[in-house]
Amino acid sequence: MKQFDYVRPATVAEAVAAAAQPGAAYLAAGTNLLDLMKGGVSRPDRLVDVTHLDGLDRIERLADGGVRIGALVSNADLAHDADFAKSYPAVAEALLSGASAQLRNAATVGGNLLQRTRCAYFYDTASRCNKREAGSGCDARDGENRTHAVLGWSENCIATHPSDFCVPLVALDAIVEIEGRNGRREIALDELHRLPGDTPERESALEPGDLIVAVRLPPAARGFAAHARYLKVRDRTSYAFAVVSAAAALRIENGKIAEARLALGGVAAKPWRARAAEDVLRNVAPTVDAFQEAAWRALTDAKPSGDNAFKIELARRIVVRALTLAAAGTPARIPALPASPFASTSGAIHA
C-alpha cells in the first residue's frame, strides 16, 4: 500500500476543504477502499477520515413522511431498523443480500453508493483498464466478461456498478445530499452515477471535495411497502455480487397497479431504472402477461458486451419474477436467504 497522509477533520467544512486537494480521498469504513489500496488500484496521497464526524449516523423520520439516512449509518443498522425495514422492505432485503455480516456491520450508506466496480480487470493492475487509467484500453472487452454490462456500456468500458442497496433506492426516487465547496446541494440518485461513454474514469457527478452526507427517500416511497421485493441471482447463494438483480415495487389499488417502480442491478455502470417498463404497468391488472411486457420493455436496449447474452434473458425472467413476488405481497419477514430466488418462502411461479 502506498504511503498516505491521514487527516481527521472535526467538521464537515474541514473535511470538504481537506478532500478538495488533488490526490485526496474520503475514508469511511474502508471496506472497499482499503482493499483497493492494498491492491494498488487506488493510490490516494491523503485520506480524510470522516468516521468521527458528528451527526451523520442517524436515521431521521421527516415530518413530510420521508426518511433521511445519514451517510455514516452502517448497512446492517439500516437494514435492521424495524421501522425502516417495514416502510422500505425492498431496500432492507437488498442490504441484507449484499456482502457478509462482517462487511455490513462496517460498511456505510455513503460508501455503498460510491463503491467501485468489481470488474476483475479494474482490480488487476497488470491489465488495461480505462477506468483505472484513462486511455489505457479495456482488457475486459475480449476477456472473461460473462458478468459484465448489457445496458449503457461503451467500447471503452463494460463494467457494472455492484451495489444492491442502490437498486431499490433508485426505484424509489432516492435523493443524495451533498456537501461541497459551494455549500449544500442535492441530486437524484439516478444522476449520481455516470455511464462510461468516452470517460469511464469519471464515475459520478461528484466534484473534488464533495461529501455525501445523507440519502433521502421522498414521502411517496413509503407507499410501496405492501408490494416490494428485491431479487438477486448470484453465482453462489450468499456473499456474492449480483449477476442480475431487480427491485420491483407496486402500488395496487382496486386490483390494478396504480404505480410501478422497477430497477435492475448488475447490468450497467449504474443502478438501472426501467421507466419504460413502469409506464406499461400503469392502470393494468398485475398479471404475468403485463409483467412479461414490462420485462421486454426493460431490456429493449440491452445488448451483450461479450459472453453475457444470457444476462439479457436472465434479466427478463428476474423482472417478471420480482414483479410477481411484489404483486403477491411483501412477506411479513425477510426470507431466510434475503433476495434469493432459492429462498424456501418464495412461492413464486417460474416465469
Partner 1 sequence: MNHSISLTVNGARREFVLDDPRVTLLDLLRERLHLTGTKKGCDRGQCGACTILVDGKRINSCLALAISHDGADILTIEGVGRGDQLHPVQAAFIAHDGFQCGFCTPGQIMSAIGMMSEAQAGNDPERIRECMSGNLCRCGAYAGIVDAVLDAQAGMDESNQRRSA
Closest C-alpha among 117, 105, 99 to residue 36: 117
Closest to partner 1 by CB, 130 or 147: 147
What is the Cα gyration radius of the chain? 20
- Min CB(294)–partner 1 separation in Å: 30
Closest C-alpha among 233, 208, 219 to residue 320: 233
3 near partner 1, rule: CB under 8 A: yes
238 near partner 1, rule: CB under 8 A: yes
Q: How many residues bind partner 1 (CB under 8 A)?
A: 33
Instruction: Report the C-alpha gap between 13 and 57 in whole angstroms.
Output: 17
Residues 102-131 that bind partner 1 (CB under 8 A): 102-103, 105-106
Burial of 328 (0-12, 13-18, 19+ CB in 10 A): middle
29 near partner 1, rule: CB under 8 A: yes
286 near partner 1, rule: CB under 8 A: no
What are residue 63's phi and psi, to 5 degrees? -60, -30
Question: Torsion angle, CA of 256/347/233/350, rounded to 10 degrees?
Answer: -80
200 near partner 1, rule: CB under 8 A: no
27 near partner 1, rule: CB under 8 A: yes
- Min CB(4)–partner 1 separation in Å: 7
Which residue's entry shows cell 485520506?
47
Helix %, strand %, coil % of the chain (to 5): 30, 20, 50
From candidates 39, 40, 55, 137, binder to partner 1 by CB under 8 A: 39
Terminal CA-CA length for the chain: 48
For the chain, give the longest Cα–Cα distance: 62
Closest to partner 1 by CB, 156 or 163: 163
Instruction: Report the C-alpha gap between 125 and 103 in whole angstroms.
Output: 24
Q: List the x/- string, 135-174, binding to partner 1 by CB under 8 A.
A: ----------------------------------------
57 near partner 1, rule: CB under 8 A: no
Of 93-101, 174-182, 283-291, 295-303, the window that binds partner 1 (rule: CB under 8 A) is 93-101
1 near partner 1, rule: CB under 8 A: yes
- Min CB(348)–partner 1 separation in Å: 18
The set of residues, in sequence order, having a beta carbon less than 8 Å from that of 226 and lying 6+ positions away, is 252, 329, 330
Question: Torsion angle, CA of 59/106/245/347, rounded to 10 degrees?
Answer: -80
Of 143-151, 179-187, 207-215, 233-241, the window that binds partner 1 (rule: CB under 8 A) is 233-241
Closest to partner 1 by CB, 4 or 296: 4
Decide if 178 contacts 157 (C-beta within 8 A): no
Closest to partner 1 by CB, 27 or 318: 27
Of 48-56, 145-153, 185-193, 215-223, the window that binds partner 1 (rule: CB under 8 A) is 48-56
From candidates 14, 20, 25, 35, binder to partner 1 by CB under 8 A: 35
Q: Provide the binding-site residues for partner 1, judged by CB under 8 A.
A: 1, 3-6, 27, 29-31, 34-35, 38-39, 47, 49, 51-52, 76, 80, 99-103, 105-106, 237-239, 336-338, 344
